[in-house]
Amino acid sequence: MKQAISIRKRKELGKKLSSVFENDMKSVPVGLRKIMANDLVTAFDSRLCVLNQAQSNLGFLVITDGEVQVETV
């Protein structure tokens, strides 16, 4: 699957996520923290790809109050 986020941006996002959850993951080994941050970035990237694909194939997305609707043009 094509990535929506560049490698450099993935690393930056991973570092930011690690810093956000630093207090919550103090007891988790460093290696596992990196894996968890990478998993979060990968999940985010996958969702961006799906949304971009839906938008290009079907028209445009309308996002309101946590609800996503696809409307065709």
Tell me what the mean pLDDT of segment 2-23 comes to: 86
Q: Which two tokens mark 42? A: 């990968």
State yes or no: pLDDT of 39 exceeds 90: yes
The whole-chain average pLDDT of the chain stands at 81
Q: Is the dihedral of CA 46, 64, 16, 20 positive or negative?
A: negative
- The residue with greater pLDDT, 19 or 63, is 19
pTM (two decimals): 0.66
